[in-house]
Chains A and B, each alone.
Chain A
Amino acid sequence: MAPVLRADRVSKSFGPVEVLSDVVLSLDPGEVHAVIGENGAGKSTLMRVLSGHLPPTKGGLVLDGEPVTLSGPVDAEHRGIVLIHQEILLADDLTIAQNLFLGREVRRGPFVDDAAMRRRAAEALAELGSTLAPDTLVRRLSIAERQFVQIARALLVPHRVVIFDEPTAVLTPIEADKLFAVIRRLRASGTAVLYISHRLPEVKAIADRVTVLRDGRLVATREIAGLEPIEMARLMVGRDMSKLYPEKPPLAGGDPVLAVRDARVPGFVDGVSFSLRRGEILGFGGLVGAGRTELFEGLMGLRPFSGAVEVDGRAMRFRDAAQAFAAGVAYVSEDRKGRGLLLGQSLRANLTLAALDRFTRGPIIDVGAEERALSGAIREFDIRARRPDLLASQLSGGNQQKLLLAKIMLLEPRIVIIDEPTRGVDIGTKEQIYRFIAGLSAQGRSVVVISSEMPELIGLCHRVLVMRNGGLAGEVGGADLTEDAIVFLATGVHEDDAARIAAGRSTHGAAPRAGHA
């Protein structure tokens, strides 16, 4: 079959820097083609060239065998090339239907035809297997639901090529499963799907072919058959990745450093108790919305909270983050951009913000000491910044995450709570972060890891607590630490079923859970 869209030796330079060189990629109708690579490998640049956001510096695009120049994303959409953004680009205060038709409202005479838009929105949502009401305000939706709305919006226009940019980054396994059903439907209808992801098991489950980029160059394009995630990782990183997770440091006994009894966060957490030992890496699993993040934000004094908290056997009550820091407890937010870093500020200002009183002489900040701390952090955490005077927003996701970890570590906390430590981070950086977490444990610090990635919890943690609907569903550890066990606790769904969901292989034989309209 002739490819519908082909990138013909595409190169892209920004100034003197070539970020994409000589990349060849062809998309066939009815295939799911995954593009994988580390952060900075050129995936997003390639995606933006294909969707008309960026013109290539050299080479060109071929659509249906004809060379084509896309004048912009609107032109690309007219030609049937649709990009689904990773960031949620919706107006919070409009309804789902209003968002779907924003800028292309259905009109009757001079007026918008709300009824027609509502009806068509309901159809579009149902096609995606969603039961959301079209009149719901987007503000009230979870992140996953918003993403479905965004996908529905993109697919409203006639499409032949659909590009997904890391669509599952914020989705739980069940939600991801629904998405895969949508993608398979697109494939069945002859649409070409370009799928960009960090999650290699997912790629294995959904893709027909895989193209690997590294440092802006094409490494290989392979059929999925016989290509295992471990090999994909090797191709991406350029070295053997079979040892992604470090050895778990041995766990010394002793009294708990942190004990929480009957923790409650109104509306989110309802009576959770647990304890954390010295040097322990304690995982918190569960679905998005199970109350894990809220539990620890409450503990840190960032939300209304009730319950008994003991640090080193002494009762504590943190009214704000500063008090928690003073007690040696620090929290790294899952929301790097919204709650972790000041994107518009320099790396230096970000690094020292939480521990600023360690960098002052009297009231005056010692900039020299800050600069030294930044050089140290760049070295120690391998933060890759073109220049040290960049703004935080100019770093890649992985490097932002390392900066955030460096910032929190300046507080020298004894208990580190890390929420989604590797969200939106490439595999090379993941490995570094895992080693860093294991290192904390080896130093005798205690770590809480909140993660939606089960391999991460299993590979990293001594023990995993699973939350469901604001309560503790159970604990798994040692030999029982398996994906099946975690998923069962997180969802309450029968184990066989859950296992299929976890592996993203739900559709073999069985009817897709997402259903069809």
Chain B
Amino acid sequence: MKKTIGLGLAALALSAGAALAQQKSVTVAVSIPAATHGWTGGVVYHAEETAKLLEKGYPGLKVIVKTSPNGAAQANALEDLMTQKVDALVVLPFNSDELTNPVREVKKRGTFITVVDRGLKDPAIQDVYVAGNNPEFGRVAGKYFVDNLKSGNVVVFRGIPTVIDEERVSNFEKALEGSGVKVIDKQYANWNRDDAFRVMQDFLQKHPKIDAVWASDDDMALGVMEAIRQSKREDVKFVLGGAGMKEMIKRVMDGDKMIPADVSYPPSMISTAMGVTAAHFYSNAPMRGTYVLNAQLITKENAKEHYFPNSPF
């Protein structure tokens, strides 16, 4: 079973109506990485906001949000959570290998398991899987270049060498196949502004003509922009980031020429997962299966839906 749903709190709205009758007591634990990066910061923000919202919407529901700075700490946190009586666990694992077994232990106690973003080694553990779509993220971006640039030279910024990055970049390149858009260079810049700045400076030295930049991440896009500004080069037409950082969405909304669009990979997917999990207990239809949040192209027209001015991300 594979359902594709829109975004954010849609799942919550869908199930809120069902929250009528029976008075019961349900505890949902949420285990997520601590805010060590812009995106995970967004995850923490959305998790906390959604927890408040859900507790208000569903009488008797208790949501515990726990953040952990690394994989080992997250495994410990899971053990601690299990000493309390928990009906469901929503987990965004640090990495698949390290956390598969700890989550399996939780599952053995009969807990309902919702996995977010990074899949576990053994898909049989999870009741619900809510994921961003990394191949789609690359495809949407690639399509944007094909549609809007048509032909020209593009440089690509990669993140940290991971499966996520590999899926995004390979599908981006696949999407360009047969078009006039050519990737002339790519480098890792670790999803980091400073690294993106220095790599872009070097790209600008190396390539006399760059038509557009796929920064693949909003943090990196900011570094890229600063390097372009310093070089006073006019040839770069636009920079496409990714993830949906509020500063970038704002620029898209304001019609910034250099940032005409963005690709979503929303940290609010945690909200979706929490909503689905709560709905499992409060609606009549049991919620199971995989929910893929499609990467969406954010343009001036739909930017408003993706703008969360209070989120840190």
Answer whether A and B touch in the complex at a CB cut-off of 8 Å: no
A-side interface residues toward B, CB under 8 Å?
none
